[in-house]
Structure 1
Amino acid sequence: MNPIKLSVPLFIYLALLVNACQVQEVSSRVVIQNVQGYTFYNDELKEFSAITFEDGKVVDVYSDTTFVNAGAYTLIDGGGKVMLPGLIDGHGHVMGLGFQQINANLAGTQSLDKALQQVEEYATQYPNLNWIQGRGWNHTHWDINRFPTAQELDQVVKERPVWLSRIDGHAGWANSRAMELAGITSKTEDPEGGKIIRNEEGEPTGVFVDAAMQLIASEIPEPSDRQRELALLKALQQMRSHGLTGVHDAGVSVEAWKMYKNFADEDSLTTRIYGMIAGAGQTFDSLSQNGPVESYQNDMLALRSVKLYADGALGSRGAAMIKPYSDDPDNRGLLFSSEQEMTQKILKTASAGYQTNVHAIGDRANRVVLDAFANVKDSLGNQSLRHRIEHAQIVAPEDIPRFKPLNILASMQPTHATSDLNMAEDRIGPERMEGGYAWQTFLDQGTVVVSGSDFPVEHVNPFYGLYSAVSRQTQQGNPEGGWYPEERMHREQALRSFTLSAAYAAHQEEMLGSLEPGKWADFILVDRDLFEVPVQQIWQTKVLETWVAGEKVYSATD
């Protein structure tokens, strides 16, 4: 413990410390001193070495270990550890993360053979499952240069149906039994907004893209309440252990919202959830009956936004492009809604007072969504709802400036760039990369950039995203100097995008995102200094403790 900066005999100092410890049970005020802290304070980055909080909210932070003693308090020695505001993931899928933990997890598999081996092992481990489900495969990381097939899955699981979502959630891989149960034949037509991958004879190969995924998924029984609860418990454990005190959940169902409320009522949530209602259809009609939920159970929950989709993903060539794909000249991707249809959806949700956040990855999808937002603004005026484009991954350079006058936030995922750098240029060519993953371009024009991971598409660890944001490199340090390094964020910008900007993107900047007086005491202690370590070390940061509303919810030593 650092000494108090007063010239007092040691026995007096010890007596004061003992006295402070004796009142722990009756005092709700806590002081953590001897930390190396960073927070945004009056919009500027501030360093501090002590923090005081009471009843779950910050009283203040201090530049040294002296502070005003306003009565009894509990004194905690921070041990010189680094303290940061709790990190907020601006775009994740909470239940998807949880189910990834209990289904077959193919994330990180480096070959088709390894993926098949893991499916076989999972099926053997759970012989009573009627359906084998999983997620995480990414054929662009394998050496086959094509989609996998049902016949290959049949080699390891033939009698039971198998359904495996691609890492980005925009394609699925089925075995023959699953296609048989779904009635899939060569005569099955591609649904609007979807594509069935076929061989030269027109036979379905086993991979279904975007809207076509529902042809198989609709046959899978709904998970039980117990399975949902287990998935949520596992997701919460993952999030708090990686320092996430908040997450924007991109697509909340009626069942999930009910469960989130039950967990909040029982004080079982350990990460705050800002929910986006899944779509503008029946789920929205059900969950919006009483209007937006701005806060529930001390800001542990909110439901005041909606998640829409404009297109698919780049890896599966479902992202809607203005011009054909460079590596697939007959394909421009999948546009899910016309400008008119998207305008009507946003008008419906925005008129009800909901922030509307639209998934758009390709440049054509981004243009259609910007046009729709412009139409809505013409109809409804400036509602200050802070609408967002989720991903804004490939945007035509001439469309990037449109974000500013339309007051559209760019909700982006830094690890998407470092995961996609192996295939993005192959998909769209170098010319269109000028508007690709353009974080610094957005920041330079004054657009708010909120960062996330899109977990379980990417790893839940936000320090992976912080590293990608400032390096534009893989964790192995490739490419040297960074991939399109002019679009890197500075360290302060990256931290802001995972804290204060993320809170702003949820209309929560007055209560979250920084350690300022009156805000919730959400913070983490980590093992290294984000602003001092070599860039290559950022992704290796370990979370030692996670605190939400002044309560420790995770300790690495437990």
Structure 2
Amino acid sequence: MKLFVRLVLLLCSSAIYAQTTLIHNVHGYSPTQKGELTTFTTLVFKDGKVVKTGNDSIIDEFPQANKIDGKERTLLPGLIDAHGHIIGLGNNLLQLDLRGSQSVNEVGKKLQAYAAQAPKGWITGRGWDQTLWPGKQFPTARQLDEYINDRPVVLTRVDGHAVWTNSKAMALAGINKDSDTPPGGEVIRLNNGQPSGVFIDKAEQLIVTHIPPATDEQRQLALNTAGKHLLSLGITSAHDAGIEYATWHLYQQRAKQHTLPLRIYGMLSAGDSHLSEMLKHGVIKEKNDYLSIRSVKIYADGALGSRGAALLEDYHDRKGHKGLMLETQPQLETLLKQSFSHGYSAHTHAIGDKANRIVLDSYENIFNKVGGKLLRNRIEHAQIVHPNDIKRFKALSIIPSMQPIHATSDMHMAEQRLNNEQLRGAYAWQTFLTQGSKIAAGSDFPVELANPFHGLHAAVTRMSRNSQPKNGWRAQETLNREQALRAFTLDAAYAAFQEYKLGSLEQGKWADFILVDKDYFKVNAAQIADIQVLQTWLAGNLVYQR
């Protein structure tokens, strides 16, 4: 009998070891809950979770583990993008991509080529940016008509805060000289008062509500496409900033089927007509941490590039114009109260200094009336903040959810839109960290490319990919490499109530990690953006290999 027991114990021990994997010969780095950066050469994980990290001496502790030689590559925690649009990214990868187009003519040629192979009906695309074109003026429907006039065309600006249409689309939408402009929106008009074809912020709805809705099959394809792309970039978790009712259903369906391609933290879109219904279902949390839905995404203003960001003073390059508030303060406070009453956090888009101030005022008022301060509420973007308001983030426990790549993408445009006084609190990452705020970093894909190493490079250098300006733009706000990595890992996890499950390679946490081709902490700063992901592991499973 004793021999039988010993054999059973031996078999059980072997089974346990068979489930243990050990990756050694790596240059491993991870932030920790204690605020330190730990380094290691060996990572051990079992059943999808971290067992131990350490030097080569721990290898002997796991004699029957499955051993993988890391070949001296660098190992980092899986990166977390704290602000993106997953279905939007998938759609962007599948539709007409206009990013980087240098003129209307270049857009037109891409449009014609795409239309020749696209199914009949509405043509959609995204990525145009008039600030890259000669003259930097908004385009017109007539210019699009020169390329496609027999099918409706709707092209979304790179930031998502404006659409450019042809005349066919406006006709199908019933848009004419007498069409009203909705509050929180702007219809760009010609000298004769006719709509030009560009619709900003809430005026977009005049057009986009007429586009046939996506099918479930299209949403599934967009999710799969985006997931595959994000994993290839080392992103193991993404915060989806504004999901509508159909996507809310889709994510829950895929979570139940265990087929979500990566971890998703979803924010309900405050503008969705089903918001109340979704909130009534309460917080959604999948047991393996693949899906968490516990926040509401609210829009306070527009974007800087389309002059929709709400400012305290006039735009430097458009006198008499201060941008657009998409919600009044009473409306914001109603949405905050509604979110908090269901245990949901509120994550509010605010780019301009006026919008940030009004949002902070709204949070403060509702905290004083009904509470909610402990819900890890966020301001998404927090790009242009009056210096007097930065300290209020810390006082009100508001997390600045910021996208480092925006600073280097926007720097030339921002200096045109704003004067030096307005820029004093712009993209102020180091100022936020110094006062004790945690920054949740992301990219805002597909507004920007999803590659997190572009964001890490921007955070560390405040330079463009070609190392301009020489010493960095407003370089006092740069982050060091450890701060930047933490913002894309542990602090992003904190912003989703997940710091005890994700964001670092500490014992008991999910074994989400990546192997890359260059040492992030040792490579020349200019080369951070060029780092390539070789492998991505999610819950101890290899899900991408280059």
TM-score above 0.5: yes
Taking only the aligned residue pairs, the percentage that are identical comes to 48
- Which residue in 1 is equivalent to 2:180? 189
Separation in 2 of the partners of 1:453 and 1:167?
13
Whether contact under 8 Å (1:277, 1:283) holds in the other structure is no
Report the counterpart of residue 341 of structure 1 in structure 2: 331
Q: 1:87 to 1:469 in 2, by over 3 A?
A: same
CA distance in 1, matches of 2:244, 2:316: 37
Rounded Cα–Cα distance in structure 2 between residues aligned with 1:458 and 1:310: 20
Task: Check if 1:240 corresponds to 2:209.
Answer: no
Q: Give yes or no for the alignment of 1:69 onto 2:69.
A: no
Instruction: Give SS of 1:373's match.
Output: helix
Equivalent of 1:154, from 138, 141, 145? 145
Q: CA deviation at 1:65?
A: 4.6
**Matching of residues 140-289 of structure 1 within 5 Å:** 140-279=131-270, 282-289=273-280
Aligned: 1:30 with 2:21: yes
Distance in 2 of aligned mates of 1:351 and 1:370? 19
Give yes or no for contact 1:544–1:555 (8 Å, CA) kept in 2. Answer: yes
Is the counterpart of residue 429 in structure 1 residue 392 in structure 2? no
Secondary structure of the equivalent of 1:481?
coil
Counterparts of 1:113 and 1:280, CA distance in 2: 35
| TM-score normalised by length of structure 1 | 0.93
Q: How does 1:352-431 map to 2 (within 5 A)?
A: 352-381=342-371, 383-431=373-421
Q: Report what 1:526 is aligned to.
A: 516
Answer with 437-446 or 379-388: which moved more: 379-388
User: Which letter maps to 1:146?
Assistant: Q
Assess if the C-alpha contact under 8 Å between 2:373 and 2:396 holds in 1.
no
Alpha-carbon distance in structure 2 between the residues aligned to 1:282 and 1:121 = 37
**In 2, distance between residues paired with 1:510 and 1:144?**
51
In structure 2, the residue matched to 1:102 is 94
Structure 1: runs of 5+ lacking an equivalent: 1-22
User: 1:280, 1:349 within 8 Å by CA — same for their partners in 2?
Assistant: no
| Worse-matched range after superposition: 427-436 or 278-287 | 278-287
Q: Distance in 1 between matches of 2:448 and 2:166?
A: 25
Question: What is the aligned counterpart of 1:84 among 53, 76, 79?
Answer: 76
RMSD: 1.4
Amino acid at match of 2:75: M
Aligned to 2:43: 51
SS of 1:52's partner is: strand
Partner Cα separation in structure 2 for residue 498 and residue 144 of structure 1: 37
| Shift of residue 297, structure 1, vs aligned partner | 4.5
| Offset, 1:281 | 5.3
Unaligned runs of 5+ in 2: 1-13
Contact residue 472 and residue 483 of structure 1 kept, 8 A: yes
The equivalent of 2:442 in structure 1 is 452
Once the two structures are superposed, residues 143-201 of structure 1 have per-residue CA deviations (whole angstroms, 9 ceiling, x without a partner) of 13200110111011100000010000000000000000111111111110000001111
Residue in 2 that maps onto 1:443 = 433
SS at match of 1:79: coil
- The secondary structure found in structure 2 opposite 1:66 is helix
Secondary structure at 1:282 match in 2: coil
Deviations 1:304-354 (A, max 9, x none): 011000000000000001111110012110011222221111011012110
CA distance in 1, matches of 2:162, 2:94: 20
In the alignment, the residues of structure 2 paired with residue 245 and residue 32 of structure 1 have an alpha-carbon distance, to the nearest angstrom, of 19
- Partner of residue 533, structure 2: 543
In 2: Cα distance, 1:237 partner to 1:24 partner:
32
The 1-side partners of 2:453 and 2:96 are apart by 25
Hey, what does 1:123 align to over in structure 2?
115
Amino acid in structure 2 at the alignment position of 1:103: Q
What is the alpha-carbon distance in structure 2 between the residues aligned to residue 194 and residue 156 of structure 1?
27
State the Cα distance separating 1:379 from its structure 2 match.
1.1
Structure 1 residue 429: Cα displacement = 1.1
Tell me how many residue pairs correspond in the alignment: 532
Q: Distance in 2 between matches of 1:129 and 1:102?
A: 16
Partners of 1:80 and 1:226 in 2: how far apart?
Answer: 42
Cα shift at 1:430: 1.4
Residues of 2 paired with 1:102 and 1:470: CA distance?
Answer: 32
CA contact (8 A) 1:473 1:482 kept: yes
Partner amino acid, structure 1, of 2:23:
I
- The one-character-per-residue Cα deviations of 1:330-384 (angstroms, maximum 9, x if unpaired) are 2110011222221111011012110110000000000000000000110123541
Classify 1:369/1:437 alpha carbon distance in 2 versus 1 (closer, same or farther; 3 Å).
same
Write the letter of the residue equivalent to 2:464: T
Q: Distance in 2 between matches of 1:236 and 1:518?
A: 25
Please tell me whether residue 498 in structure 1 is matched to residue 498 in structure 2.
Answer: no
Q: Is the 8 A contact 2:236 2:538 kept in 1?
A: yes
- The answer to whether the 8 Å contact 2:373/2:397 transfers is no
2-structure distance, mates of 1:226, 1:85: 33
Q: 2:286 aligns with which of 287, 293, 296?
A: 296
